[in-house]
Amino acid sequence: MFNKILIANRGEIALRILRTCKELEINTVAVYSEADRDSLHVTFADEAVCIGPPFGKDSYLKIPAIISAAQVTGADAIHPGYGFLAENASFSEICKESKLKFIGPSPDMIRAMGDKAFAKDTMKKNEVPVIPGSDGVIENLNQAKELAKEIGYPVIIKASAGGGGKGMRIVWEESEFQKAFQTARTEAEAAFANGDVYLEKYIENPRHIEIQVMGDQHGNIYHYGERDCSIQRRHQKLIEESPSPAVDEDLRTRMGEAAIRGAQSVNYEGAGTIEFLLDKHQNFYFMEMNTRIQVEHPVTELVYDVDLVRQQILVAAGEKIEAKPKKPHGHAIEFRINAEDPENNFRPSPGKISSLHFPGGYGVRIDSHIYQSYSIPPYYDSLIAKLIVWGKNREHAIMRGKRALSEFIVEGIKTTIPFHLQVLEDGRFKSGNFDTSFLEKF
């Protein structure tokens, strides 16, 4: 087992990782930018090293600073959390070369799944349903147009090296195709230095259903069911839940087995998530694989009784996965609390928290790094807390969510707590009948 883990991240996830390290009696090293000097996980870690000025590129994304910090503190493993360097194949590679265990997949696995076109191709070869589309990168315009006709409009042109909605164009009819193709390529070139694009059928108003997988170094790969992350604003998830109201046991089995096949195709090691789109006819299609622990992992933890970060560490240390999946028990919902003003277009609201009271009681979990009088730095994302509730069933979880949100007091900054309360009152949300277009219509 590792003696000392360096946590290459910040905020709530750094604290989350630190907590599990403590339970495993592993020493912890926190790295922080100057803006995070007063961060909670920095205070709780056994050792802390300042690695740079506030901006991410100078600190949490600065590979030499992080490796150096691991070397001077004698850490033997690095946990990258999510975001930042978590899915950076070079970082995984450099850790390996520096004899530091990267708690996550190998550089090759990251590269394989990071290349969207390649990942899709791999899934297809392993009988994982994929969205009908081009076989890899589109070479020429006319071929693409023919294919689009075959697939049937609407189609979407996507950047192979892309993400975050860039280098994407939805095409509703053939007459718009050429222009869309050209602008998508230009945008992709500008954003990712790679103009390669591929083509897919555009699935209107799908549900976003993802499967949590975990693989160890002994060839075992398991899945821990699904999470429904359809409540999104501009492709940013706001509310996630497990199980999904749209997934029955049969569908769960089929999706789970498909996810395991996909992970097996690259001998996956560590925690991973396979994202699917579910259409109105209960067809599921592979979208992408995330080779890291995800923000919304707690909903899976509560329903499947598993500490996923603990499994990550055990697996990285060469042990077998400890927690075998069982049937889902109860229902969990996570509300991402952001320092944003929902009444002003979710404008970021950094500042000092003058008053704070976390909700509590049975079935309430808070993953958060904030404390009273903490000043939220303006340099990073706006996630300040995750409120996760568990109930015997969905209705109970919603009721508990409402109760917990109304006890949650944060003063001095604006938060999305009032927004979440409104969503819980919405008929469509309560019915479980929603898709990724929910917030547009809200």
Partner 1 sequence: MDLDLIKKLVKIVNSSGVTDLEIEESGFRVKIAKKIRSSQVITQPQTPIASAQPVVQTTALTAEETAKQKAEIEPTAANLHEIRSPIVGTFYRAPAPDADSYAQVGAVVSPGTVLCIVEAMKLMNEIESDVNGKIVKILVENGKPVEYNQPLFLIELA
Alpha-helical segments (H) within 40-83: 40-44, 63-73
Binding partner 1 (rule: CB under 8 A), the pick from 8, 35, 42, 52 is 52
Binding partner 1 (rule: CB under 8 A), the pick from 72, 141, 190, 399 is 72
Q: Check residue 98 for interaction with partner 1 (CB under 8 A).
A: yes
- Give the span between the Cα atoms of 415 and 399, in whole angstroms: 20
Nearest approach in angstroms of CB 184 to partner 1 is 39
Q: Check residue 126 for interaction with partner 1 (CB under 8 A).
A: no
Stretch that binds partner 1, among 48-56, 241-249, 278-286, 432-440 (CB under 8 A): 48-56
Alpha-carbon distance values, 17 to 9, 28, 103, 124, 255 (Å): 9, 9, 11, 34, 28
DSSP reduced 3-state for 161: coil
Stretch that binds partner 1, among 50-58, 189-197, 259-267, 420-428 (CB under 8 A): 50-58
Stretch that binds partner 1, among 69-77, 111-119, 134-142, 385-393 (CB under 8 A): 69-77
Nearest approach in angstroms of CB 91 to partner 1 is 13
Nearest approach in angstroms of CB 53 to partner 1 is 8
Instruction: For 238-267, give the DSSP string.
Output: EEEEES-TT--HHHHHHHHHHHHHHHHTTT
Burial class (CB in 10 A: 0-12, 13-18, 19+), 136: middle
Amino acid identity, position 308: L
Is 292 a catalytic site residue?
yes
Q: Which is nearer to partner 1, 50 or 170 (CB)?
A: 50
Q: Check residue 93 for interaction with partner 1 (CB under 8 A).
A: no
Question: Rounded to a whole number, what is the distance in angstroms from the first to the last CA of the chain?
Answer: 49
Q: Check residue 45 for interaction with partner 1 (CB under 8 A).
A: no
- Give the span between the Cα atoms of 264 and 225, in whole angstroms: 16
Counting Cα atoms < 13 Å in the Cβ hemisphere of 84 gives 27
By residue count, the chain amounts to 442
Nearest approach in angstroms of CB 240 to partner 1 is 35
- Give the span between the Cα atoms of 189 and 182, in whole angstroms: 11
Tell me which residue has tokens 């949100």: 405
Q: Check residue 35 for interaction with partner 1 (CB under 8 A).
A: no
Alpha-helical segments (H) within 297-348: 297-304, 308-316
Of 292, 336, 365, 400, catalytic: 292
Binding partner 1 (rule: CB under 8 A), the pick from 65, 103, 321, 410 is 65
- Specify whether the CB–CB gap between 394 and 400 falls below 8 A: no
Q: Check residue 38 for interaction with partner 1 (CB under 8 A).
A: no
Q: Check residue 178 for interaction with partner 1 (CB under 8 A).
A: no
Q: Check residue 3 for interaction with partner 1 (CB under 8 A).
A: no
Q: Check residue 49 for interaction with partner 1 (CB under 8 A).
A: yes
- Specify whether the CB–CB gap between 86 and 7 falls below 8 A: no
Nearest approach in angstroms of CB 97 to partner 1 is 10
Alpha-carbon distance values, 140 to 159, 185, 240, 316, 333 (Å): 15, 12, 39, 43, 45
Q: Check residue 5 for interaction with partner 1 (CB under 8 A).
A: no
- Give the span between the Cα atoms of 312 and 79, in whole angstroms: 9
Q: Check residue 55 for interaction with partner 1 (CB under 8 A).
A: no
Tell me which residue has tokens 């359809």: 230
Stretch that binds partner 1, among 57-65, 184-192, 268-276, 289-297 (CB under 8 A): 57-65
Q: Check residue 71 for interaction with partner 1 (CB under 8 A).
A: yes
Binding partner 1 (rule: CB under 8 A), the pick from 64, 234, 362, 393 is 64
Nearest approach in angstroms of CB 77 to partner 1 is 17
Relative orientation angle of helices 89-97 and 63-73, to the nearest 10 degrees:
30
Indicate the helix (H) or strand (E) that contains 273. Answer: strand 270-278
Indicate the helix (H) or strand (E) that contains 92. Answer: helix 89-97
Q: Check residue 90 for interaction with partner 1 (CB under 8 A).
A: no
Stretch that binds partner 1, among 45-53, 261-269, 280-288, 365-373 (CB under 8 A): 45-53
DSSP reduced 3-state for 105: coil
Binding partner 1 (rule: CB under 8 A), the pick from 51, 271, 274, 337 is 51
- Total residues at interface with partner 1 (CB under 8 A): 16
Binding partner 1 (rule: CB under 8 A), the pick from 15, 69, 423, 424 is 69
Q: Which residues are the active-site residues?
A: 292
Binding positions for partner 1, rule: CB under 8 A: 34, 49-53, 59, 64-65, 67-69, 71-73, 98
